[in-house]
């Protein structure tokens, strides 16, 4: 019997989950065994999983789960050096030279486990089968506008928090922006999932946006025209060798640019297209001021969809569920491709 173990997220400010109670009920009906760790922060009620027929487990008990259990989570595991012996499904952020990636891969190598990175779960064309991109773009644009509004008041953006739904987020943002003249924005990567989410949020807030995609960035840069917009939303999935949109010396150039929403958020990578900052930001301090006069703030939160945890969880889980039903055939299809990606990067 295939055993799926849904772990409680241990990262602060993270309430999302990759499997809904309805999805769990479908897996159980197909003969799967599903264990769900209790969580005081998960956006979907624990009782609903129990009603669906799941088995209960204590938070963090995946470490002692049976060896054949497949551990399902979303964000990174706690930074420890303990070996990892299970098969894990999560966003590992470990295959493109990210700073914490080598440490994570060592833990799998030492323990004999396998990372099925959700970023590597792709169809035959190489397209990811499940992604939070739309909600990252939607929420990223919202937080970037919050930073712009705070800057217009002579402040820096304060703490952000999870919202019950997008209507609540829009209501709060509308109040913060008030009746002031809206800024103009540039969205790079506008045709992708993330770009579409960002564009939809800007439209809902009556913010005029210029939309760029591969055609506008194909020449590789430099792109001095980017500095002519008040807001930049970077929505591309950066890869080694990609173009630089905002070089490090842009802070001292003549510019209208005041706030950058780096939704892709790869500040520790040498291929990052935004070079004016060096660390992610947080819910407690969403905006990093990288230049004082004229002001330039960067928003670079790496779990943006968690600000709308219910909607983003249900959307992502619906995308992922058809592939979870194939966990009894992990030597085929998307799971085989994900394992091959792991083996290439952690020989």
What is the model's pLDDT at position 240? 83
Of the CA atoms within 13 Å of residue 327, those in its CB half-sphere come to 25
Give the pLDDT band of residue 25 (cuts 50, 70, 90).
Answer: very high
What is the model's pLDDT at position 93? 86
Answer left, alpha or beta for residue 93, where phi above 0 means left and psi between -120 and 50 means alpha: left
Query: Does the active-site annotation cover 75?
Result: yes
Residue 41's alpha-carbon distances to 56, 140, 162, 284, in angstroms, are 16, 22, 11, 17
Query: Does the active-site annotation cover 93?
Result: yes
Q: Which tens digits make up the pLDDT trace of 59-108? A: 999 999 999 999 999 998 988 899 999 999 999 988 877 768 889 999 99
Q: Catalytic residue, from 86, 93, 146, 345: name it.
A: 93
Q: How far apart are CA 44 and CA 53, in angstroms?
A: 15
What is the model's pLDDT at position 300? 98
> Does the pLDDT of residue 109 top 80, yes or no?
yes
Q: Which tens digits make up the pLDDT trace of 287-333? A: 999 999 999 999 999 999 999 999 999 999 999 999 999 999 999 99
Both tokens of residue 91? 């966003």
Give the pLDDT band of residue 2 (cuts 50, 70, 90).
Answer: very high
Average pLDDT over residues 259-275: 92
Q: Catalytic residue, from 3, 75, 96, 191: name it.
A: 75
Is 106:334 a contact under the CB 8 Å cutoff?
no
Q: How far apart are CA 136 and CA 149, in angstroms?
A: 20
Give the pLDDT band of residue 250 (cuts 50, 70, 90).
Answer: very high
> Does the pLDDT of residue 280 top 90, yes or no?
yes
Q: How far apart are CA 183 and CA 63, in angstroms?
A: 49
Mean pLDDT of the chain: 96
Q: Which tens digits make up the pLDDT trace of 137-189? A: 999 999 999 999 999 999 999 999 999 999 999 999 999 999 989 999 999 99
- Domains present along the chain, CATH in parentheses: 3-120+309-345 (3.40.50.720), 133-307 (3.40.50.720)
Q: Which tens digits make up the pLDDT trace of 333-347? A: 999 999 999 999 987
DSSP 196: H
Q: Which of 93, 109, 111 is nearest to 101 (CA)?
A: 93
Give the pLDDT band of residue 5 (cuts 50, 70, 90).
Answer: very high
Q: Which residues of 71-98 are buried (b: 16+ CB within 10 A; e: fewer)?
A: bbbbbbbeeeeeebbbbbbbbbbbbeee
């Amino acid at each position: 019997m295939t055993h799926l173990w849904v772990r409680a997220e241990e990262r602060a400010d993270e309430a999302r989950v990759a499997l809904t109670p309805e999805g769990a009920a479908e897996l159980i009906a197909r003969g799967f065994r599903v264990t769900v760790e209790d969580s005081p922060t998960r956006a979907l009620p624990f009782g609903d999983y129990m009603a669906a027929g799941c088995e209960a487990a204590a938070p963090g008990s995946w470490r002692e789960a049976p060896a054949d259990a497949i551990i399902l989570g979303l964000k990174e595991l706690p930074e420890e050096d303990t070996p990892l012996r299970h098969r894990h499904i999560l966003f590992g952020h470990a295959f493109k030279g990210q700073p914490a990636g080598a440490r994570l891969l060592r833990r799998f190598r030492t323990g004999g486990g396998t990372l099925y990175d959700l970023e590597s779960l792709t169809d035959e064309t190489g397209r990811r089968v499940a992604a939070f991109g739309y909600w990252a773009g939607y929420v990223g644009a919202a937080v970037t506008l919050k930073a712009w509004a705070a800057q217009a008041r002579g402040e820096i953006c304060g703490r952000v928090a999870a919202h019950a739904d997008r209507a609540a987020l829009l209501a709060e943002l509308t109040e913060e922006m008030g009746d002031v003249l809206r800024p103009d924005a540039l969205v790079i990567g506008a045709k992708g999932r993330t770009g579409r989410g960002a564009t939809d949020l800007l439209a809902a807030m009556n913010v005029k946006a210029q939309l760029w995609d591969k055609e506008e960035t194909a020449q590789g840069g430099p792109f001095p025209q980017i500095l002519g917009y008040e807001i930049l939303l970077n929505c591309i999935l950066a890869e080694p060798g990609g173009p630089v949109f905002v070089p490090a010396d842009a802070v001292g150039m003549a510019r209208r640019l005041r706030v950058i929403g780096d939704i892709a958020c790869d500040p520790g990578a040498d291929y990052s297209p935004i070079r004016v900052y060096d660390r992610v930001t947080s819910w407690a301090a969403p905006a990093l001021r990288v230049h004082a006069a004229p002001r330039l703030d960067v928003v670079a939160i790496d779990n943006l969809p968690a600000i709308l945890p219910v909607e983003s969880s249900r959307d992502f889980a619906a995308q992922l569920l058809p592939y979870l039903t194939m966990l009894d055939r992990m030597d085929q299809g998307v799971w085989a491709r994900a394992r091959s990606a792991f083996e290439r990067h952690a020989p």
